[in-house]
Structure 1
Amino acid sequence: MKLLFSVDHRFEIGADGAVYTLGGKYPYRLWQEYLEAFDEVVVVCRGGPMTSPIERLSLSSGSRVRHVPVGGRRGVKRLSELANLQKTLAPLVLASDAVVARLPGELGSAACDLARRNERPYLAEVVASAWDALWGHGSLAAKAYAPILEHRTAKVVARAPLARYVTEAFLQKAYPTAGRTFVASNVALAPIDSGVAVDRDARIRSTPSPLVFGTIGSLVSRMKGVHTALEALAAQRNSLPPFLYHVLGEGDPAPYRALAERLGLSSQVRFDGVLPAGPAVMAWLDGVDIYLQPSFQEGLPRALIEALSRGCLAAASTAGGTPELLPPARLHRPGDVTQLGRLILDVATQSLEDSLSESRENMRTAQRYDGAHLAMKRRESVAALANLVSNRGRNASANVDAPSALKEL
Structure 2
Amino acid sequence: MHILFSSTATVDRLGGKFYNNALRAFLPRYHYLGERITCLAFGQDVEGVKQEPIEDPRVDFVFLKKVNSVRSLLVARRENELIIEREVRACDMCVAHVPSFLGDSVARVAKKYHKPCLNVVVGCAWDAYWNYSWVGKLMAPFRFLSLRRVQAEAEYSIYVTSEFLQGRYPTKGVAIGCSNVNISTGDESALRKRLDRIPYQKGPLRMATLAAVNVRYKGQEYAIRAIAELRKMGVDIEYHLVGSGDDRFLRSLAERCGVADRVVFHGLMPHDQVLSFLDEMDLYIQPSKQEGLPRALIEAMSRGCLSLGSRTAGIPELLDKEYVFRRGNVRDIVRILSKIDENTLKEQALRNFEEAKRYDREVLNRRRCEFMRLFKKNSRLE
Counterpart secondary structure, 1:297: coil
**How many pairs are equivalent?**
381
2:363 matches 1:364: no
2:109 matches 1:114: yes
The equivalent of 1:398 in structure 2 is none
The equivalent of 1:400 in structure 2 is none
Q: Deviations over 1:131-166 (max 9, x none)?
A: 0111111x1111111111111111111111100011
2:31 matches 1:35: yes
2:6 matches 1:6: yes
Aligned-residue offset at 1:220: 3.2
Q: Deviations over 1:353-388 (max 9, x none)?
A: 232112111111111111101011222233233324
Aligned-residue offset at 1:204: 1.4
The equivalent of 1:373 in structure 2 is 363
Matches of 2:325 and 2:374, distance apart in 1:
38
Which has the larger displacement, 185-194 or 314-323? 185-194
Matches of 2:282 and 2:199, distance apart in 1:
11
Aligned-residue offset at 1:119: 0.6
The equivalent of 2:85 in structure 1 is 90
Counterpart secondary structure, 2:43: strand
Q: Deviations over 1:218-259 (max 9, x none)?
A: 123211101111111112112244332111111111111111
2:189 matches 1:195: yes
Aligned-residue offset at 1:79: 4.2
* Aligned residue runs from structure 1 range 115-194, under 5 A: 115-137=110-132, 139-194=133-188
Matches of 2:210 and 2:162, distance apart in 1:
23
Please list every run of 5 or more consecutive structure 2 residues that lacks an aligned counterpart in the other structure. Answer: none
TM-score where L is the length of structure 1:
0.89
Change (3 A) 1:165 1:103: same
Aligned-residue offset at 1:76: 9.3
Matches of 1:39 and 1:26, distance apart in 2:
16
Aligned-residue offset at 1:317: 0.4
- Of residues 386, 389, 401, the one that matches 2:376 is 386
The equivalent of 2:44 in structure 1 is 48
Greater gyration radius: 1
The equivalent of 1:99 in structure 2 is 94
The equivalent of 1:302 in structure 2 is 295
2:272 matches 1:282: no
Matches of 1:287 and 1:97, distance apart in 2:
47
The equivalent of 1:344 in structure 2 is 337
RMSD: 1.9
Matches of 1:270 and 1:68, distance apart in 2:
38
User: Letter of the aligned partner of 2:208 in structure 1?
Assistant: G
User: Letter of the aligned partner of 2:373 in structure 1?
Assistant: A
Aligned-residue offset at 1:84: 2.8
Matches of 1:375 and 1:208, distance apart in 2:
40
* Paired residues of 1:115 and 1:121 also in contact (CA < 8 A): yes
Counterpart secondary structure, 2:380: helix
Aligned-residue offset at 1:85: 2.4
* Paired residues of 1:229 and 1:294 also in contact (CA < 8 A): yes
Counterpart secondary structure, 1:314: strand
* Paired residues of 1:212 and 1:245 also in contact (CA < 8 A): yes
Matches of 1:84 and 1:136, distance apart in 2:
28
Matches of 2:163 and 2:83, distance apart in 1:
35
Matches of 2:162 and 2:378, distance apart in 1:
24
Matches of 1:384 and 1:18, distance apart in 2:
34
Indicate the structure whose relative CO is greater, using CA pairs within 8 Å and at least 6 residues apart.
1
Q: Deviations over 1:87-139 (max 9, x none)?
A: 221101110111111111111011101101111110110111110111111x1
Counterpart secondary structure, 2:33: coil
- Of residues 22, 44, 52, the one that matches 1:25 is 22
Aligned-residue offset at 1:186: 0.9
User: Letter of the aligned partner of 1:40 in structure 2?
Assistant: R
Which has the larger displacement, 163-172 or 336-345? 336-345
Matches of 1:371 and 1:290, distance apart in 2:
23
* Paired residues of 2:235 and 2:338 also in contact (CA < 8 A): no
Change (3 A) 1:174 1:92: same
2:54 matches 1:60: yes
Aligned-residue offset at 1:390: 2.7
